[in-house]
Amino acid sequence: NAGVTQTPKFQVLKTGQSMTLQCAQDMNHEYMSWYRQDPGMGLRLIHYSVGAGITDQGEVPNGYNVSRSTTEDFPLRLLSAAPSQTSVYFCASSVGDSYEQYFGPGTRLTVT
Amino acid sequence: GQQLNQSPQSMFIQEGEDVSMNCTSSSIFNTWLWYKQDPGEGPVLLIALYKAGELTSNGRLTAQFGITRKDSFLNISASIPSDVGIYFCAGRTSYGKLTFGQGTILTVHP
């Protein structure tokens, strides 16, 4: 199993550009989530999904959209990037919402 | 929202020393988790605690779930250079969402 994979590993965007961060898992996990990590603030939940077709907002959802059309994939979309979205983004998955989450390697995003 | 206070923010220790870090919260959690993050990688689960008062070991790591369900600590005994990284606590409510502490940056000098 590859576990949780994320692409790209690094990305630089200009303010106002859009892009999609990809996340995939091959463990047949129902629960998937996106976090952002900023210095001194730990990881904060952006959006999560308890299964295909179901998504919900986390702690810091503004400026991000998600969809879950399949069990395996959970992309995160930035519609109009802002410098405040410069961060490291982690995708995670677990069997269910009460089980241990496995994290991907992260995407480092810089918005200029 | 819920907040976790993790301390210390950073530690600089000599190889062989023991390490202790803790997390406290104003909210009650059903589960406490401890993760380690290596540079350029995602967090990896070290220990999971499910019951108040539970004490669990994983090799040189020991963690405890506080009786009040509002705190947890992690101890690392006889530190080695590969223990370097950022350690995060995380609390989970009955609704499944994780709340993370700010992290403890551990540096081990050989």
pLDDT recorded at residue B97: 77
pLDDT at position B94: 65
Query: What is the pLDDT at residue B98?
Result: 85
What percent of chain B shows pLDDT beyond 70? 95
- Which residue in A67, A105, A63, A107 sits closest to A83, CA to CA? A63
Residues of B in contact with A32 (CB under 8 A): none
Q: Is A30 exposed, middle or buried (0-12, 13-18, 19+ CB in 10 A)?
A: middle
In three-state secondary structure terms, B82 is: helix
Q: Which residue has the tokens 């995160």?
A: A76
Q: Which of residues 30-89 of B touch A (CB under 8 A)?
A: 31, 33, 35, 40-45, 48, 88
Question: What pLDDT sits at residue B40?
Answer: 87
A8 to chain B, any CB pair closer than 8 A? The answer is no
- Hey, are the CB atoms on A105 and B1 less than 8 Å from each other? no
**Residue A100 pLDDT:** 83
Partners of A42 on chain B (C-beta within 8 Å) are 4, 6, 88, 100-103
A108 → chain B, closest CA residue: B40
Does residue B1 have a pLDDT over 60? no
Torsion of CA A52, B101, B19, B53, to 10 degrees: -80
Q: What whole-number distance in Å separates Cα of residue B42 and Cα of residue B102?
A: 15
Task: Please state, in angstroms and rounded to a whole number, the distance separating the CA atoms of residues B43 and B87.
Answer: 8
Q: Which of A43, A45, A90, A107 to mutate to test the interface with B (most CBs of B within 10 A)?
A: A43
Local confidence pLDDT in tens for the 112 residues of chain A: 779 999 999 999 999 999 999 999 999 999 999 999 998 788 999 999 999 999 999 999 999 999 999 999 999 999 999 999 999 999 999 987 767 889 999 999 999 9
Look at B42 and A90 and tell me if their CB atoms are within 8 Å: yes
pLDDT digits (tens, 9 = 90+) for B85-107: 999 999 987 666 788 999 999 99
Alpha-carbon distance of A87 to A35, in angstroms, equals 10
B94 three-class SS: coil
- Tell if the CB–CB gap between A97 and B97 is shorter than 8 Å: yes
- Give the separation between CA A95 and CA A32, rounded to whole angstroms: 9
The predicted-structure confidence for B74-83, as pLDDT tens digits, reads as follows 999 999 999 9
**Predicted local confidence at residue A74, as pLDDT:** 98
Q: State how far residue A24 is from chain B, nearest Cα, in angstroms.
A: 14
* Residue B19 near residue B10, CB atoms below 8 Å: no
- Strand-pairing partners, residue A6, are A23
- Give A3-60 as a DSSP string: -EEEE-SEEEE-TT--EEEEEEESS--SEEEEEEE-TTS-EEEEEEEEETTEEEE-SS
Q: Please report which confidence band the pLDDT of residue B17 belongs to, taking 50, 70 and 90 as the band edges.
A: very high
* CA Rg value for chain A: 13
Are B98 and A101 an interchain contact pair (Cβ–Cβ within 8 Å)? yes
| pLDDT of A95 | 87
Structure tokens given for B68: 């009040």
Q: For residue A31, what pLDDT is reported?
A: 93
Sign of the torsion angle spanned by Cα atoms A59, A65, A70, A74 = negative
Q: What's the whole-number mean pLDDT along residues B43-67?
A: 95
**Using the 8-state DSSP alphabet, how is residue B95 labeled?**
T
